[in-house]
Structure 1
Amino acid sequence: MSDEVPPVRRRRGRGARERILKAATELFTAQGVNATGMEQLTTAAHVSKRTLYTHFASKDDLVHAYLSQLQDGLLPAETFAEEACADPRRQLLAIFDWDPRTSDGPLRGCPFLNAAVEVPDPDHPVHQLAAAYKTEFTRRLTAIAQQAGARNPEELGEQLALLYDGAAARSMAFNHIGAGVHARTIAAKLIDEAVAAAPESPTGTATTA
């Protein structure tokens, strides 16, 4: 009986780009960007290196595409001033409603924070994409905070974004989603304080905060 290992079969044809992105998402999520090699990606995606580089000129391009496809699914819902939110308070708290764990693998926290850490150069396209995502994340929270009636929506949006990032980092450090539960409790207090009615003056008329 031969001990020779059979070659990995490569799947040709349509769908290669989607398979590469799917493999990249799984591997980058599980072990990080820097720990994932291109050879490992080709094996997981069942493509040749030539096919991989046909779709993505470099690993940086692949990481950028991987993050880009995640944006819409992770950002808070878009809110427009002329359209009233059904429940803006609930929308703000929803960013802390993390799904229960479905695997025994380590928690990876926020993929955009992770990418910014693994690619620290602020001028790098991947780092810039992560920063742009975080800016948009805060902008959307601010818009919802305004709909909720916050007296200073910009401040509340920034506070909630900072609270979210801290909880995401802490959950990864402790490999537990409990940080999200505690962050949600703090967020509820911040929101309620921000939208509380303005205090009344001695004459009984409301004053602005």
Structure 2
Amino acid sequence: MGTPSADVAPPPLSPRKRLLAASISLFYRNGIQATGVSELCEVAGVSKRTLYQLYGGKDELIAAYLAHLREKRVSPAERNLFDDALAPRERLAQLFDRPDPARFRGCAFHNASVELTMPGHPATPVIHEYKESFERRIAQSAREAGCKEPEELGRALMLLFEGATALATSTGDLAAFDAARPVAEKLIGDAAA
């Protein structure tokens, strides 16, 4: 048996993975409601029938998209928050670093929550679990930093982060993170004293 050639292409992605990749690209950039099933299928190179066979419909694909983002920790703030190589206080403060303006369109979970108003949508539990786990991780970092009342600090930092993110998304001005950072640093400093 010979060795594989270096120019052998990797196997193509499955239709399920192509649909997920298309949703990641289109839902965040264009919005969930603005992205139709036809566009998703065209970008993924699959039929509508395939989407419905694999995911049951667009709503279930939305839930899978958000579950994938949750598992992969795609935002820099989130990756850093879970980076145990960083000091706990640094993990907390970096939440308020300015995101890359070329890639920023807010929090995918917040955006989805705003767009998905149907009660019982399959993505709703994914959104709630993500936000709750994010807040718990902030509180855990506060605990590791030796802060008093880490859950209370975690809640305050979560509110501040969510507010900065929402404001930056609404106005297109990332200065919201610059304004939030000294407030966060004061809260962290006071809780660590």
Structure 1 length normalisation: TM-score? 0.77
When residues 195 and 66 of structure 1 are mapped into structure 2, their CA distance, relative to the original with a 3 A threshold, is same
CA contact (8 A) 1:122 1:128 kept: no
1:154-165 aligned at under 5 Å gives the runs 154-165=151-162
Question: What do you get for the CA RMSD once the two structures are aligned?
Answer: 1.9
How many angstroms does 1:122 deviate by?
Answer: 5.3
Q: 1:77 aligns with which of 69, 78, 82?
A: 82
Moved more, 16-25 or 121-130: 121-130
Deviations 1:46-85 (A, max 9, x none): 2111222222111111000100111131443177xxxxx7
1:173-184 aligned at under 5 Å gives the runs 173-184=170-181
Distance 1:187 1:122 in 2: 34
How many angstroms does 1:125 deviate by?
Answer: 2.6
CA contact (8 A) 1:120 1:127 kept: no
Moved more, 121-130 or 64-73: 121-130
For 2:93, give the aligned amino acid: L
Question: What is aligned with 1:195?
Answer: 192
Question: What is aligned with 1:87?
Answer: 87
When residues 181 and 66 of structure 1 are mapped into structure 2, their CA distance, relative to the original with a 3 A threshold, is same
For 1:154, give the aligned amino acid: E
Unaligned runs of 5+ in 1: 1-12, 80-84, 197-209
Question: How many residue pairs are counted as aligned between the two chains?
Answer: 176
For 1:155, give the aligned amino acid: E
How many angstroms does 1:185 deviate by?
Answer: 2.1
Question: What is aligned with 1:134?
Answer: 131
Distance 1:122 1:166 in 2: 24
How many angstroms does 1:14 deviate by?
Answer: 4.5
Question: What is aligned with 1:52?
Answer: 51
Unaligned runs of 5+ in 2: 1-11
Q: What SS is found at the alignment partner of 1:36? A: coil
CA contact (8 A) 2:149 2:191 kept: yes
Q: What SS is found at the alignment partner of 1:170? A: helix
CA contact (8 A) 2:59 2:121 kept: no
Q: Tell whether 2:102 aligns with 1:102.
A: yes
Deviations 1:86-135 (A, max 9, x none): 511001112222432226xxx52111111111123453331221111111
CA contact (8 A) 1:92 1:144 kept: yes
Moved more, 68-77 or 130-139: 68-77
CA contact (8 A) 2:83 2:91 kept: no
**Which aligned segments of 4 or more residues in structure 1 are displaced greater than 4 angstroms?**
none
Question: What is aligned with 1:119?
Answer: 116
Moved more, 70-79 or 149-158: 70-79
When residues 193 and 121 of structure 1 are mapped into structure 2, their CA distance, relative to the original with a 3 A threshold, is farther
